[in-house]
Amino acid sequence: MTINHVLILISEPKSIFLEILFKYFNSSKHRLVNKKITLVGNLNLIQNEAKTLNFKKKFTKILNLKDAKKNQINVINIELNKKNSSTYISKGFYQSLSILKENKDTILFNGPVNKKTFLKKKYLGVTEYLANQTNSKYPVMLIYNDKISVSPITTHLPIKHVAKNINKKKIIQNIDVINNFYQTKLKKKPKIAILGLNPHCETIEIKSEEDKEIIPAVKVLKNKKIDVYGPFSADTFFLKKNINKFDVVVGMYHDQVLTPLKTLFNFNAINITLGLPFIRVSPDHGPNVEMYGKKKSDPSSIFCAMKFFNII
């Protein structure tokens, strides 16, 4: 289904998200003219942030998504609880999820949240939070860049728990979801590389995770005619000659693939959650409270997101 509407959830009230969003809207590259845009957040907060950034376009308050119009910035107001940002964020997600349930041509673009205060250790991240809220069994984190994307099998999991959470079934499920997304939404059969868990894909133990879980998963995926290769040793994989051959790199844990991607592209990437009833996107960085109000934040992730919205 073609995406006709972008629902932008402001999320964390004290965040650089509105700053980088308005930097995009103020730029000459603002080209979302063929899609409706609706912000979900506190109208006063949005207007105050816009004023500080010299963004002069007016906002149109609406009560229902059906009232949204193209070529204007629509706003669904959320009451702001200044003493408890978690309540404000929860209301925003609840409202957004209700809207998405009724509007299948809509994509969710949410601002980053402070995981410690909002998720309160109940979920590893927003990926798992949204999976729980939508009863989705197999959420997949994809950090997308149009040159190469990465996906960790385990997300924000402490490193000491990673090995025991790597298994053949999860690898197959995640890569199935990624492959389907690329073919249905991006109209491309992706070439996928899988990294090993251990240094050089080796271990001093009798049998490694590569032997027990990763290699058997690769065999199953190849039999399903998915264009997958590996496992590769992670320490040398991200050399230019290697990454130019692939569309997606699947790693076993978060920093194994996100660190090299951010080193290569800085903030020119977005976090996409696959496996939900809708596509969810967020910037590939956090609220960055230290930079809040300084007007110096890099808006590359917003530009990457908007470019992505225009191709799906």
- Clarify whether residues 98 and 221 are in a common domain: no
pLDDT of amino acid 58: 87
- 30 band by pLDDT with thresholds 50, 70 and 90: low
Residues 131 and 152 reside in one and the same domain: no
Same domain flag for 152 and 198: yes
Is residue 190 domain-shared with residue 60, that is, in the same domain? no
Locate all alpha helices (DSSP H) within the chain, ordered by sequence.
17-25, 43-52, 85-102, 115-118, 126-133, 168-185, 209, 215-223, 234-237, 240-243, 254-265, 300-309
Select from 257, 261, 306, 263 the least CA-distant residue to 283. 306
Most confident range, picked from 175-184, 200-209, 291-300: 175-184
Residue 149 parent element (H or E): strand 149-152
Quick check: 309 and 186 in contact, CB under 8 A?
no
pLDDT over 70 at 189, yes or no: yes
Query: Is the pLDDT confidence value at 152 over 80?
Result: yes
What is the reported pLDDT for 296?
A: 80
Predicted local distance difference test score (pLDDT) of residue 32: 57
Give the count of beta carbons closer than 10 Å to the beta carbon of residue 159: 11
138 backbone dihedrals φ, ψ, rounded to 5° = -125, 70
156 Cβ contact list (under 8 Å, min separation 6): 115, 124, 125, 254
Same domain, 244 and 152: yes
Q: Minimum mean pLDDT among 92-106, 208-222, 234-248, 276-290: which range?
A: 276-290
What is the rounded CA–CA span in Å between residue 194 and residue 187?
21
pLDDT beyond 90 at 70: no
Burial class (CB in 10 A: 0-12, 13-18, 19+), 32: middle
Reading the block at residue 144, the tokens are: 């997308």
Query: 60 and 98: one domain?
Result: yes
Average pLDDT across the chain, whole number: 91
Spatial distance between the Cα atoms of 29 and 134, rounded to a whole number of angstroms: 34
pLDDT for residue 82: 75
Domain with 237 in it: what CATH number? 3.40.718.10
| First-to-final CA distance of the chain | 9
Judge whether 52 and 17 are in contact, CB under 8 Å: no
Q: How many CB atoms lie within 10 A of CB 251?
A: 26
Say whether pLDDT at 247 is over 90.
Answer: yes
Do 202 and 88 have their domain in common? no
Average pLDDT score over residue span 174-185: 97
Determine the pLDDT at residue 53. 85
- Over range 171-179, report the average pLDDT: 98
**Do 198 and 305 share a domain, yes or no?**
no
146 with 258, same domain? yes
* DSSP 3-state of 150: strand
Q: β-strand 192-195 against 228-232: which pairing, if any?
A: parallel
The pTM score is 0.93
What percent of the chain shows pLDDT beyond 90? 70
Q: Which of 274, 289, 304 is the last residue of a domain?
A: 274
Domain interval for residue 213:
141-274
Residue 214 has a pLDDT of 98
Q: What is the pLDDT of residue 17?
A: 92
DSSP state at residue 304: H
Residue 7 shares a structural domain with residue 105: yes
User: Do 269 and 301 fall within a single domain?
Assistant: no
The string over 45-63, giving b where at least 16 C-beta atoms fall within 10 Å of a residue's C-beta and e elsewhere, is: bbeebbeebebeeebeebe
What pLDDT digit, counting tens, does each position of 83-107 carry?
Answer: 778 999 999 999 999 999 999 999 9
Q: Mark whether 14 and 57 lie in a shared domain.
A: yes
User: How many structural domains are present in the chain?
Assistant: 2
Give mean pLDDT, residues 239-256: 95
